[in-house]
Amino acid sequence: MIGKLKGVIDEIGDDYVLIDVHGVCYVAFCSARTLSRIGSVGEAVTLFIETYVREDQLKLYGFISGDERGWFNLLQSVQGVGARVALAILSTLSAGEVSNAIALGDKTAVSRAPGVGPKVATRIVNELKNKVPAGLSGSDNEGVAFRQEVSEGAAPAAVSDAISALANLGYSRDQAAGAVSAAMKKAGEGADSATLIRLGLKELAN
């Protein structure tokens, strides 16, 4: 089982990268986001790898981070989501954006991925709502938990009001939730909505 590859980029295709590891070249299929971030031919690269072994094939899937690999696997636990669809989602949304979209119940964001219709997007959001990939960092876990509170209506009124106010100004709910979360860390959990809006706008302006 291959868990990680460290080598030199030999070739980059539309949906794969060829990595030369001491003279042996491995084909790793990747999301468009990963391919755009790994560098150019001739440069060193490290990819997290998920190995798929089937009766008639062996495929390697490459990821820029462990979180991306975690979401790749977790997404496929949903009926109707295979490797191709999972990669399409991760090509459209970063691992962090997938976490946020699911925590906020934002099926519209998930459905932006090619091949993901409204029914599949709804299924993904509903089935993965209270799940996060194994190994997700503590800070990311906190962000997911905060967004779940917002989505479920369990957040304090000041928080909900601040997020709604920022969303009404044209920011996405994910952007608004992230800004208010950062504002709460500065102002404290007892801050009123006006303070959270003011600090949230500062966060969004940075």
**142-194 pLDDT per residue, tens:** 556 666 666 666 678 888 888 888 888 888 877 888 888 888 888 887 788 88
Average of per-residue pLDDT across 59-70: 91
The answer on pLDDT for 111 being more than 50 is: yes
pLDDT at residue 57 in the model? 80
For the domain covering 71-137, report its CATH number: 1.10.150.20
The answer on pLDDT for 48 being more than 70 is: yes
CATH class of residue range 155-206: mainly alpha
pTM: 0.67
Q: Where in the chain is the domain with CATH 1.10.8?
A: 155-206
Q: Where in the chain is the domain with CATH 1.10.150.20?
A: 71-137
The answer on pLDDT for 139 being more than 50 is: no
Residue percentage of the chain with pLDDT more than 70: 89
pLDDT at residue 144 in the model? 61
DSSP string, the chain: ---EEEEEEEEE-SSEEEEEETTEEEEEEE-HHHHHHS--TTSEEEEEEEEEE-SS-EEEEEESSHHHHHHHHHHTTSTT--HHHHHHHHHHS-HHHHHHHHHTT-HHHHTTSTT--HHHHHHHHHHTTT---TT--HHHHHHHHHHHHHHTT-S-HHHHHHHHHHHHTT--HHHHHHHHHHHHHHH-TT--HHHHHHHHHHHHH-
Q: Where in the chain is the domain with CATH 2.40.50.140?
A: 4-64
Q: Is the model more confident about 43 or about 146?
A: 43
| Topology at the third CATH level for domain 4-64 | OB fold (Dihydrolipoamide Acetyltransferase, E2P) (2.40.50)
* Tokens found for residue 98: 């997938």
Average of per-residue pLDDT across 117-133: 86
Q: Is the model more confident about 45 or about 177?
A: 45
